[in-house]
């Protein structure tokens, strides 16, 4: 079992930045890929970014490429999502998720989820 807790959300103006963190507890964190997803009201859950386990390969959703950066610190059991040049379209609840092995685009491939953190970008 892996427990995930997100933090770092909040209100920011367009063009600003936020850094989300995902603290993991439980089994060996380095075995797990970490994914970030977001869900805005009335919309489906959208893939944002993922980072693999030990190899730490990364993938990004098209809407965030070049603006968001995913990273991890296995020594601290944390994953992070640096979000730059935010726009109102980035407003959503952001979730981190974990699965063993490689990261995937589909949320159905992830076994563990955090409770989410709200990000609101004002225009």
Tens of pLDDT, residue by residue over 3-42, are 999 999 999 999 999 999 999 997 688 899 999 999 999 9
* Residue 29 confidence (pLDDT): 86
User: What's the pLDDT score for residue 28?
Assistant: 85
pLDDT value, residue 55: 60
Residue 61, both tokens: 């959703």
State the pLDDT at residue 104: 86
Q: Coil, strand, or helix at residue 111?
A: coil
Question: For the CA atoms of 61, 10, 117, 67, what is the dihedral angle to 10 degrees?
Answer: 10
Q: 63-111, pLDDT tens digit by residue?
A: 999 999 999 999 999 999 999 999 999 999 999 999 998 888 899 999 9
Size of the chain in residues: 123
Q: Return d(Cα 81, Cα 96) in angstroms, integer.
A: 9
* pLDDT of 54 higher than 80: no
């Amino acid at each position: 079992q892996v427990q995930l807790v997100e933090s770092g959300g909040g209100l920011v103006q367009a063009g600003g930045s936020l850094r989300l963190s995902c603290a993991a507890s439980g089994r060996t964190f380095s075995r797990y890929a970490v994914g970030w997803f977001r869900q805005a009201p009335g919309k489906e859950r959208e893939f944002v970014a993922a980072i693999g386990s030990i190899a730490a390969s990364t993938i990004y959703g098209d809407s965030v490429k070049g603006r968001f950066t995913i990273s991890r610190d296995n020594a601290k059991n944390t994953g992070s999502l640096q979000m730059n040049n935010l726009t109102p379209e980035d407003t959503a609840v952001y979730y981190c998720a974990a699965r063993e092995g490689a990261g995937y685009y589909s949320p159905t491939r992830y076994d563990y989820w955090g409770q989410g953190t709200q990000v609101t970008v004002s225009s």
